[in-house]
A and B are shown apart, each in its own frame.
Chain A
Amino acid sequence: MTSCIICGRPIQEEHRFCRYHQNAYEELRKMFDRWEKAYGSMQWHDYLEGVLKAEGTGIWVAEVIEAIKKEYVP
Chain B
Amino acid sequence: MMSTDFNARRRKLSKVMIISEKPTAARRIAEALDQNGNLRETKSKSASYFECERNGDTLIVAYALGHLFELRQTEKGWTYPRFETEWVPKYEVDKKASKIEPIINLIRKLAKDADSFVVATDFDIEGSLIGYLTLKYGCRVNPDNAKRMIFSTLTKKELEHAYENLSQQLDFPMIEAGHARHEIDWLYGINLTRALTLSVKKAAGWFRIVSTGRVQGPTLAFLAENDQKIKKFVPIPFWVISAKAGHNGKELELEYHKKRLDLKEDAQRIADELQGRDLRVESILSKKQKQTAPIPFNLSGLQSESYRYFGFKPSRTLSIAQKLYLDALISYPRTNSQKLPLGIDLREILEELRETAYRQYAMNILSRGIPEPVQGPKDDPAHPAIYPTGKKPERRLTPSEFKVYDLVVRRFLGLFYEPSIKEFLRANLKADDHLFYLRGMKIIREGWIVVYGPYVKNNERTLPSIKEGDSFKITSIAADNRYSAPPAHYNPSSLLKLLEKKGLGTKATRASIVDSAQSRGYTLASSFELSSLGYALYETLESHVPAILSAEFTRNLETEMEHIQEGTGDREKALSLAKRELDEILRAFREHEDEIGEDLVKGLQGYWQASEEIGPCPKCGVGTLSIIKSPKTGKRFIGCSQYKEEKCDQTFPLPQKGRIIPLEKQCPYCSHQMIKVISSRRVWETCINWAVCPGRQEDLKTLHQKREKSSGYSEEEEK
A9-49 CB contact bits vs B (8 Å, 1 = yes)?
00000000000100110011011001101111000000000
In the complex, the chain B residue whose C-beta lies closest to that of A50 is B237
Residues of chain A contacted by B234 (CB below 8 angstroms) = 27-28, 30-31, 51, 57-58, 61
In the complex, the chain A residue whose C-beta lies closest to that of B529 is A59
Does A35 lie within 8 Å of B228, measured CB to CB? no
Does A58 lie within 8 Å of B238, measured CB to CB? no
Interface size class of A (residues with CB under 8 A): 20 to 34
Q: Smallest CB–CB gap between B420 and chain A, Å?
A: 36
Q: A39-B237, A39-B264, A40-B263 are in contact. Are A55 and B483 (CB under 8 A)?
A: yes
In the complex, the chain B residue whose C-beta lies closest to that of A38 is B237
Residues of chain A contacted by B265 (CB below 8 angstroms) = 40
A58-72 CB contact bits vs B (8 Å, 1 = yes)?
111100000000000
Point out the residue from B228, B233, B236, B483 that lies within 8 Å of A20, measured CB to CB.
B228
Does A60 lie within 8 Å of B231, measured CB to CB? yes
Q: A20-B228, A23-B228, A38-B238 are in contact. Are A58 and B264 (CB under 8 A)?
A: no
Q: Does B112 contact A (CB under 8 A)?
A: no
Q: Say whether chain A's binding surface is mostly helix, strand, loop, or mixed.
A: helix
Q: Smallest CB–CB gap between A62 and chain B, Å?
A: 9
Residues of chain B contacted by A31 (CB below 8 angstroms) = 234, 236
Does B264 lie within 8 Å of A40, measured CB to CB? yes
Does B238 lie within 8 Å of A54, measured CB to CB? no
Q: Tell me the number of A-to-B contacts counted with CB atoms below 8 Å.
A: 61
Q: Does A56 contact B (CB under 8 A)?
A: yes
In the complex, the chain B residue whose C-beta lies closest to that of A64 is B232
CA distance A38 to B264 in the complex (A): 6
- Number of interface residues, chain B, beta carbon within 8 A: 18
Does A58 lie within 8 Å of B230, measured CB to CB? yes
Residues of chain A contacted by B263 (CB below 8 angstroms) = 37-38, 40
Residues of chain B contacted by A20 (CB below 8 angstroms) = 228, 231-232
CA distance A11 to B639 in the complex (A): 35
Residues of chain B contacted by A57 (CB below 8 angstroms) = 233-235
Q: Does B144 contact A (CB under 8 A)?
A: no
Q: Smallest CB–CB gap between A22 and chain B, Å?
A: 10
Does B486 lie within 8 Å of A38, measured CB to CB? no
Q: Smallest CB–CB gap between B303 and chain A, Å?
A: 29
Q: Does B484 contact A (CB under 8 A)?
A: yes
* Most chain B CB neighbours (cut-off 10 Å) among A54, A55, A59, A61: A54
Does B232 lie within 8 Å of A23, measured CB to CB? yes
Does B235 lie within 8 Å of A54, measured CB to CB? yes
CA distance A57 to B232 in the complex (A): 8
CA distance A60 to B483 in the complex (A): 18
Does B231 lie within 8 Å of A56, measured CB to CB? no
Does B231 lie within 8 Å of A38, measured CB to CB? no
* Most chain A CB neighbours (cut-off 10 Å) among B230, B233, B238, B486: B233
Does A58 lie within 8 Å of B232, measured CB to CB? yes
CA distance A59 to B262 in the complex (A): 24
CA distance A59 to B237 in the complex (A): 18
Residues of chain A contacted by B264 (CB below 8 angstroms) = 38-40
CA distance A31 to B192 in the complex (A): 41
CA distance A51 to B236 in the complex (A): 9
In the complex, the chain B residue whose C-beta lies closest to that of A22 is B232
Residues of chain B contacted by A55 (CB below 8 angstroms) = 235, 483, 485
Residues of chain B contacted by A56 (CB below 8 angstroms) = 233, 235, 483-486
Q: Smallest CB–CB gap between A64 and chain B, Å?
A: 9
CA distance A59 to B179 in the complex (A): 45
Residues of chain A contacted by B236 (CB below 8 angstroms) = 31, 34-35, 38
Sample of 15 more A-B contacts, CB < 8 Å, known A35-B237, A38-B236, A38-B262: A20-B232, A23-B228, A37-B262, A38-B237, A38-B264, A39-B264, A50-B237, A51-B235, A54-B483, A55-B235, A58-B231, A58-B233, A60-B231, A60-B232, A61-B234
Nearest first, the 10 A-B pairs at minimum CB distance are: A58-B233, A24-B232, A31-B234, A58-B231, A60-B231, A56-B235, A54-B235, A54-B483, A56-B486, A38-B237
Could you give 16 example pairs across A and B, Cβ below 8 Å? A27-B234, A28-B234, A30-B234, A31-B234, A35-B237, A37-B262, A37-B263, A38-B238, A51-B234, A51-B235, A57-B233, A58-B230, A58-B234, A58-B486, A60-B231, A60-B232
